[in-house]
Structure 1
Amino acid sequence: MPHCPALLISAPASGAGKTTITAGLARYHRRNGLRVRVFKTGPDFLDPKLLARASGAPVYNLDLGMVGADGCKALLAQAAKEADLILIEGVMGLFDGTPSSADLAQALGVPVLAVISGKSMAQTFAAVAFGLARFRPGLPFYGVLANHVASARHAELLQQALPADIPWLGHIATGVDMALPERHLGLQQPEDIADLDARLDLAADIIGTTALAQLPPSVAFAEVSTPAIPRLLAGQRIAIARDEAFSFIYPANLDLLEHLGAELVFFSPLADEPVPADCDAAYLPGGYPELHAPQLARNTRSSDSLRNHVEHGKPLVAECGGMLYLTESITQTDGRRTAQPGLLPGAAQMQKRFAALGMQALTTAQGTVRGHTFHYSTLTTPLIPMAQAQHADTGKSGEAWYQHGPITATYMHAYWPSCPAFAAALFLGKAF
């Protein structure tokens, strides 16, 4: 059973600074020569990219619902064999959601660090810490880090109010410019933050002044046996769009395609690169095509190659932003409309608030595939759905799945390891 120091970083709510602290921890220990592996709780795409920049290694998602308990255990056991430190960034507040970050920490035996904002608080800080530490019996609790602290005296007040058995691990002062900037789907992408490494290094410097400079306790990660993955895609070459417009890709999905036997190649529609002609299938993941709609519209070399790919009957899988790009047009919130390739009938309209959010599950002939949805757009299309996902927690109707010739399109971000046979069927054009 592999062992490795491990810590889950959580908070009372979103916005407390979990990602910045996790990234700072990863960068600090990496600078000291340790091999750091970071995981992200939940279905997030953006936080993992920033955490990968901080740690120097791919960041995989952990979620008891989407990934499954055995899937989470397998990922962590493998990481424990390779790393000197495992960090897991939580999602929302510690107990928010079903399953929650607390559920994950308790299931895996990973101690919890609570990042708590001290802004506009004194002794009440201790009450919040007390509640997080005691709310669930048996939850492994490591201690608290105070964020947004106004002064040394403020830090002293916060620390003095804590019960003696809740460790104080230090504080981060207000005004330290290390926070990571955001946009409408969450944090900005690493390539959009010019001073990202300076921010990460500053966060690491500050972490070095706290008790978090010391490694957390070692955790034993049980290995689980996982079913062998048949090479259903052996001999298949899959082209994957990957750039600033199409970047919402689970690393575990790419791993699965390779385990299924596929060869992966990448191209950039934003750079007007064509789909390689010798590919058997293509994948347009989600991302931010709406931010680059005019450029994508001008890049006819790329769009013409996609049209040629489809006209030859080759499977094309399009998720969320990838689906929007294939429509006839994208209209921004200010009314600006940009024509797109029109490989899918219909049009996309951006919204100022999110249009859908939540975990999804789709039952197919190959089994049930899990995933999630989170988008700020709506799609108007004459297409009739071939299948309909369901919300995992309520069973209510979820995202539609469309089939238009060899194109399979949906808003749902599927986690393909939850159903490898379905993933293979997608890229063989046999999913529906």
Structure 2
Amino acid sequence: MRIAARCPALVIAACASGQGKTTVTAALARLHERQGARVRVFKCGPDYLDPYWHQLASGAVVEQLDLWMTGEADCAARLHAAAQQADLILIEGVMGLFDGQNSVADLAQRFAIPVLAVVDAWAMGGTLGAIVHGLKTYRPGLPWAGVLANRVAGEGHARLLQEGLQDPSDWLGALPRLAGAEGGKLLPERHLGLVAAHELPDALQRLDATADALAATPLGRMGSAALERFSVDFAAPPLAGQIPALLAGRTVAVACDAAFSFIYPANLRTLAQLGARVQCFSPLAGDSLPACDAVWLPGGYPELHAGRLAANQALRDDLRAHLAAGKPLWAECGGMMALADSITLQDGATQPLWGLLPGRVQMQKHLAGLGPQQLDLPQGQLRGHTFHYSTFDSAAAVATRTARPGQAVAPNVGEAVYRQGSLRASYFHAWFASSPAATAALFGAGEA
């Protein structure tokens, strides 16, 4: 009989995006990691960038939790496994606490994890009490931990905020507005979200500075004994079935660098479970294509590195030969962009790219695609998402399209999945474990 595992846990949520959830989650992880605790951090929903900060803060791999994309059984298994090993589990929410189907509140309530609300209180006074009351009581039975006010001007401002709360026990402290930081925020942003931690030489110092500030709050002063009030019993999930080795004997080459960094660890793990040998290479470092049976070009920031990518003519020729040999190539979002003829940046400059998929990429000032998506293939349904600030004008054949969860494929709705010979490309980011059989098909399983 498999038994439950008990561990203190918090869901760090907010009333909207931009309140400081990532900063607080990373700072809390860093604070306890410095004290010798084993901290496991998860991120709700699709996100490639926040996990870089949480991994730096905790020293452990960060996984996704999403009741639709990864599935409830997957969430239960990951939380149970983490609770067996960790002293503290932190789960950063996405958007607002109650936003969307399968919301952060749904996850917190499903697993009985207390919610810590982070509220940007820079231009706020007693209204904080109304916001906290609403978040706390809107959903009957929602597990609740308290509130942490962010970007607070000083001790007088903090007292004003605290006095506005109906329940004094809700107050878990205030983080100050950081002098000299852009907008008073710790973590810089760009068009797809936060700048990844590995791109900033002072990333750890930034985390330490906020961890130090957090240490002065009631939340930060909680030791292991005090954190027991947030303990959760994570039930043992049923044993998962074995994934068939549909890619046994095959090597999948994966582009891995600053231009192609949107890679879920679980996706690499799924490829390995399918029997594939995963071989990473760096287009930006000038690598040639490793000997392989299939290629995965994941998403990332090709628009920031277009010149260097275009300069790697040897790799472009390798990819051209790979496709000429009829070998599979799956390109997601930024990976698809890199294959285009050219890209026009927001400043109007146009850069050539690899020219292996006809079409032109145009960067946009606003979001061009966002949200959960599913891709139906003959082998099964892949779940995933889309999030991009560019458009792709291509004459390539559209083999199919993605659709919103539970909806049928419709013309000119969802993301196009282009097919040209053995090349398939889309703005769609796939969660491979949602259908190992469909994933294996993307990389050539079943082909002679």
Match of 2:305, SS state, is helix
Q: Distance in 1 between matches of 2:234 and 2:249?
A: 35
Residue 332 of structure 1: how far off its partner (Å): 1.1
Alignment of 1:106-121 (within 5 A): 106-121=109-124
The question of 1:95 aligning with 2:98 is answered yes
Tell me, yes or no, if structure 1 residue 194 matches structure 2 residue 201.
Answer: yes
| TM-score normalised by structure 1 residue count | 0.96
Match of 1:412 in 2: 428
User: Would you say the 8 A contact 1:310–1:406 is kept in 2?
Assistant: yes
By how many angstroms is 1:21 displaced?
0.5
Report the counterpart of residue 322 of structure 1 in structure 2. Answer: 335
Query: In the alignment, which residue of structure 2 is the partner of 1:356?
Result: 369
Does the aligned pair in 2 maintain the 1:126–1:158 contact within 8 Å? Answer: yes
Per the alignment, in what secondary structure is the counterpart of residue 27 of structure 1? helix
Deviates more, 1:190-199 or 1:209-218: 209-218
Task: Give 1:2 deviation, angstroms.
Answer: 1.4
C-alpha displacement of 1:430? 5.7
- In the alignment, structure 2 segments of 5+ residues that lack a partner are none
4+ long deviations beyond 4 Å: 393-396
Cα offset for 1:390?
Answer: 0.5
Q: Secondary structure in 2 aligned to 1:170?
A: strand
Q: Which residue of 2 aligns with 1:78?
A: 81
Q: 2-side partners of 1:333 and 1:151: how far apart?
A: 39
Amino acid at match of 2:96: G
Residues 25-84 of structure 1 show CA distances to partners (whole Å, capped at 9, x for unaligned) of: 111111111111111111011111121111111111111111111111111111112211
Residue 206, structure 1, aligned to residue 213, structure 2? yes
Identify which of 374, 381, 403 aligns with 1:390. Answer: 403
Q: What is the aligned partner in structure 2 of residue 266 from structure 1?
A: 280
Structure 1 residue 212 displacement after superposition: 2.2
Instruction: Give distance in 1, aligned partners of 2:282 and 2:25.
Output: 30
- Which residue of 116, 134, 137 maps to 1:134? 137
Matched, 1:339 2:352: yes
Query: Is the 2:97–2:104 contact (alpha carbons within 8 Å) kept by the matching residues of 1?
Result: yes
1:312 aligns with 2:319: no
- Are positions 1:426 and 2:442 aligned together? yes
1:88 positional shift: 0.4
- 1:373-395 residue CA offsets vs partner (Å, 9 max, x unmatched): 01111111112211111012765
Aligned residues: 430
Q: Deviations over 1:344-392 (max 9, x none)?
A: 1212111111111111011221221110001111111112211111012
More off after superposition, 127-136 vs 363-372: 363-372
Q: How far 1:120 sits from its partner (Å)?
A: 2.1
CA distance in 2, matches of 1:231, 1:77: 26
Deviation at 1:429, TM superposition (A): 5.9
Shift of 1:173: 1.5
2:243 maps to 229
Q: CA RMSD in A?
A: 1.6
Letter in 2 for 1:293: A
Rounded Cα–Cα distance in structure 2 between residues aligned with 1:303 and 1:180: 35
Is 1:218 the counterpart of 2:220? The answer is: no
> What amino acid is the match of 2:309?
L
In 1: Cα distance, 2:132 partner to 2:406 partner: 29
Q: Is the contact between residue 52 and residue 198 of structure 2 (CA under 8 Å) also seen in structure 1? A: no
Counterpart CA distance in 2 for 1:429 and 1:328 is 29
Distance 1:164 1:357 in 2: 37
Q: Specify the code of the residue in structure 2 equivalent to 1:389.
A: T
1:200 offset after TM fit, Å? Answer: 0.5
Judge which range, 64-73 or 331-340, deviates more: 331-340
- Of stretches 329-338 and 170-179 in structure 1, the one that deviates more from structure 2 is 170-179
User: How far apart are the structure 2 equivalents of 1:191 and 1:28?
Assistant: 19
Partner of 1:66: 69
Indicate conservation of the 8 Å contact 2:128/2:161, yes or no: yes
User: Which shows bigger deviation, 289-298 or 299-308?
Assistant: 299-308
Q: Distance in 2 between matches of 1:52 and 1:393?
A: 33
Unaligned runs of 5+ in 1: none
Aligned partner (choices 170, 178, 185) of residue 192 of structure 2: 185
Closer, same or farther: CA 62–320 of 1 in aligned 2, 3 Å: same
Aligned counterparts of 1:275 and 1:138: Cα–Cα separation in 2: 54
2: distance between equivalents of 1:407 and 1:314? 8
SS in 1 for 2:398: coil
Cα distance per residue 1:165-207 (max 9 Å; x no partner): 6421111112354610000000002232221111001111112
1:149 aligns with 2:120: no
- Partners of 1:50 and 1:405 lie apart in 2 by 39
Q: Between the two proteins, what is the percent identity of the paired residues? A: 53
Q: 1: CA distance between counterparts of 2:280 and 2:341?
A: 24
C-alpha distance after superposition, 1:248-304 (max 9, x if no partner): 011111111111111111100011101112x11111000000111011111112222
**Counterpart code for 2:263:** I
Match of 1:10 among 10, 13, 19: 13
Query: Which amino acid in structure 2 is aligned with residue 314 of structure 1?
Result: K
Which one of the candidate residues 9, 21, 25 is aligned to 2:24? Answer: 21
Question: What is the Cα deviation at residue 8 of structure 1?
Answer: 0.5
TM-score, normalised to structure 2's length? 0.93
CA contact (8 A) 2:176 2:213 kept: no
Q: Which amino acid aligns with 1:155?
A: A
> Aligned-pair distance for 1:154?
1.5
Paired AA for residue 47 in structure 2: D
Q: Are 2:270 and 1:256 equivalent residues in the alignment?
A: yes
In the other structure, the counterpart of 2:33 is: 30
Deviates more, 1:283-292 or 1:172-181: 172-181
Report the Cα distance in structure 1 between the residues aligned to 2:11 and 2:53, rounded to whole angstroms: 17
CA distance in 2, matches of 1:218, 1:113: 13
CA distance in 1, matches of 2:357, 2:313: 16
Does the 8 Å CA contact 1:13/1:94 hold for their aligned counterparts? yes
Which digits, 9 at most, give the CA deviation of each residue in 1:317-363, with x for residues without a partner? 10000001011111112221111111112121111111111110112
Contact 2:364 / 2:390 at 8 angstroms: preserved in 1?
Answer: yes
**Mapped contact 1:77–1:221 kept (Cα < 8 A):** yes
**C-alpha separation between the residues in 2 aligned to 1:80 and 1:310?**
45
